[in-house]
Amino acid sequence: MLKSLEKSSCIMENKIEQFIQDSNSSVPTAEEFLNYLSFSDSEIIDVEHATVDQWESEDWFLHKVGFISASKCKTVFTRQTTLNKGNSQETTALAKSIVSKPSYNMSSKKTHEPDNPRDWGLVKEEARKYYMYFAGRQHHKIHLERKGFQISKKKPFLGASVDNIRSCKCSTDCGITVVEYKCPWVHRNSDPKEAFLSKEIGGIFTGDSYHLQNKSKYYYQVQMQLFVVCAKFCDFVVWTTKGIHIISIPFESSFMSSVCINLEKFWVTQVVPLLLANQLDVPCTDNIKNISCDETASNDMATSNDMGATSKRTDVNEMDMSPTIKTHSEEKPIHIDIDSHTSKQESATSFLVYGVDLHMDDISTLEQKVMMNDSIVKVLLEIERYNAAEKVFKADHFLKDYVIIPIIRK
């Protein structure tokens, strides 16, 4: 049975519904949907206009569902890279974060002076004013345009939200430039150049110039933004109370060509099966997952499921793809001995802590002094996980400059 389309539906759900209705296959595959998926110019413009208020708009949260957004670019790329190497890697939480509809709270619109990291990073009007002043001295009749969520015409499963698009009326054709503002809370009172060179941003100084490292998550974000909007340059702006620092970042087509291969593979093998399962109102199984793209994809899927699943097709109601999970209900830090020599069959693939999957692969591959920001803290702080986050992060935590989290580890 096809689920009825909700009144407040996202554009990707509309496409899924159309695809299922048009499909001649009793069990539509992810690869078929990829070949089917496209958006008209009017659809892309309509979504962009509906989401121009970005995080202050419910439509912005809805229409991002199902797309790999620029902010998740590096996370998805590195996860798929691990899968390509044949290493077991849990993907459910990441895929669900892409297809889940977050709850929208109108009270999240902030009108007061930001006093915590989240609000500080979202309120960027001061950064725009500073940038407008400095860029206006280099270009004639500069114009900054606000944009909503933009869908890639070349790769319609990719999308990006940019802070501004800059244009001008210079005699030489400058073209459009993406403007991305970063307002780091931790470094809000630092020199902007120092903030740019911080680990959080990932900038470096070589020779006599500043650069954003290509391993930085923001480099991936900027490159994908440029790819989606078809721009050649991004002005990367770091703003603090001491001023701004502007770095021009060119588009690297070879870099994005490599990245897009992994993003597409992850979307087809991990994201689309969840979208189809949600629309068909059935469990997500290998009948829906298209794992026959090639031999490598089949092996990767069997490994990532970590359940010994084969590519043999069975009835969707006969399969149980749930991962092995240990539930820990105590409200205290968890100690997981990653050096214990238990067999693979005996060890759990993940631990449910405060409603969030804590995966063994994530823990065992952590480098010293590195937090699981993407897989744990970031997930907790997403809007749809606020109820879970409140068990760890109390209201007064958001008023502090930093939060100390007790962690027991070897």
pLDDT in tens, 226-262: 999 999 999 999 999 899 999 999 999 999 999 999 9
Strands 158-161 vs 68-69: parallel, antiparallel or unpaired: parallel
| Of 164 and 361, the one with more pLDDT | 164
pLDDT over threshold 50, residue 140: yes
Mean pLDDT of 368-397: 55
pTM over 0.85: no
Helix, strand counts (H, E) of the chain: 16, 13
DSSP state at residue 293? S
| AA identity, residue 137 | R
pLDDT of residue 363: 64
Residue from 298, 244, 391, 286 nearest 83 by CA: 298
pLDDT over threshold 90, residue 126: no
| Cβ atoms within 10 Å of 76's Cβ, excluding its own | 24
Q: Where are the domains of the chain?
A: 11-102+257-280, 117-255
Q: Which of 1-15, 51-65, 179-193, 194-208 has the lowest mean pLDDT?
A: 1-15
pLDDT of residue 43: 96
pLDDT of residue 143: 95
pLDDT over threshold 90, residue 67: yes
pLDDT of residue 352: 61
Whether the Cβ atoms of residue 237 and residue 127 lie closer than 8 Å to each other? yes
117-255: CATH topology is: Lambda Exonuclease; Chain A (3.90.320)
Sign of CA pseudo-dihedral 271, 275, 281, 285 = negative
pLDDT over threshold 70, residue 178: yes
pLDDT over threshold 90, residue 193: yes
pLDDT of residue 392: 65
Task: Name beta bridge partners: 238.
Answer: 182, 245
pLDDT over threshold 50, residue 147: yes
DSSP state at residue 56? G
